[in-house]
Amino acid sequence: NWTMETFIEKEIARIREICGPKGRVIGAVSGGVDSSVAAKLMHEAIGDRFQAILVDNGVLRENEAAQVKKMLSEDLGVSLTVIDASDKFLDKLAGVEDPEQKRKIIGNTFIHVFEAEAERIEAEAEKELEEKGGEAKGKIEWLLQGTLYPDVIESISFKGPSATIKTHHNVGGLLADMKLKLIEPLRELFKDEVRALGRLLSIPAHLVNRHPFPGPGLAIRILGPITREQVKIAQQADTIYIDEIRKAGLYDQISQAFAVLLPVRAVGVMGDKRTYEQVIALRAVTTEDFMTADWFVFPTDVLRRISSRITNEVAGVNRVTYDISSKPPGTVEWL
Ligand code: XMP
Over the stretch 284-327, which tens digit does the pLDDT of each residue have?
Answer: 999 988 889 999 999 999 999 999 999 999 999 999 999 999 99
Contact 24, 141 (CB under 8 A): yes
pLDDT at 11: 96
Whether residue 32 is annotated as binding a ligand: the answer is yes
User: pTM, whole model, 2 decimals?
Assistant: 0.89
Burial 59-88 (b: 16+ CB within 10 A, else e): bbbbebbeebbebbeebbebebebbebbeb
pLDDT of residue 168: 58
C-beta of residue 175 within 8 angstroms of C-beta of residue 111: yes
User: Which pLDDT belongs to residue 289?
Assistant: 82
The letter for the amino acid at 39 is A
Q: Return the H-helix or E-strand segment holding 83.
A: strand 80-84
pLDDT of 256-294, one tens digit each? Answer: 999 999 999 999 999 999 999 999 999 999 998 888 999
Please, which pLDDT band fits residue 65 given cuts at 50, 70 and 90?
Answer: very high
| Residue 160: pLDDT band with limits 50, 70, 90 | very low
- In the chain, what percentage of residues exceed pLDDT 70? 93
Confidence of residue 222 (pLDDT cuts 50, 70, 90): very high
Nearest atom of ligand 1 to the alpha carbon of 258: 22
Å from CA of 293 to ligand 1 middle = 12
Q: How many whole angstroms from 139 Cα to the centroid of ligand 1?
A: 32
Share of the chain above pLDDT 90, in %: 81
**Segment among 29-43, 139-153, 192-206, 226-240 with least mean pLDDT:** 139-153
How far, in whole angstroms, is CA 112 from its chain's centroid? 18
Q: Using DSSP, how many helices (H) and how many strands (E) does the chain show?
A: 10, 9
Residue 146 near ligand 1, beta carbon < 6 Å: no
Computed from CA positions of residues 97, 99, 101, 105, in that sequence, does the dihedral angle turn out positive or negative? positive
Grouping H, G, I as helix, E, B as strand and the rest as coil, residue 23 is coil
Name which of 283, 229, 221 is nearest 90 in CA terms: 229
Task: Answer yes or no: is pLDDT of 153 > 90.
Answer: no
Residue closest via CA to ligand 1's atom 11 equals 214
Name residues whose C-beta falls within 8 Å of residue 261's C-beta, 6 or more positions apart in sequence. 221, 222, 223, 230, 233, 234, 237, 278, 279, 280
DSSP E strands: which ranges in 191-296? 256-270, 273-286, 294-295
Q: 3-state SS of the chain: helix, strand, coil percent to 5?
A: 45, 20, 35
Predicted pLDDT of residue 151: 79
CA distance 200 to 306: 36
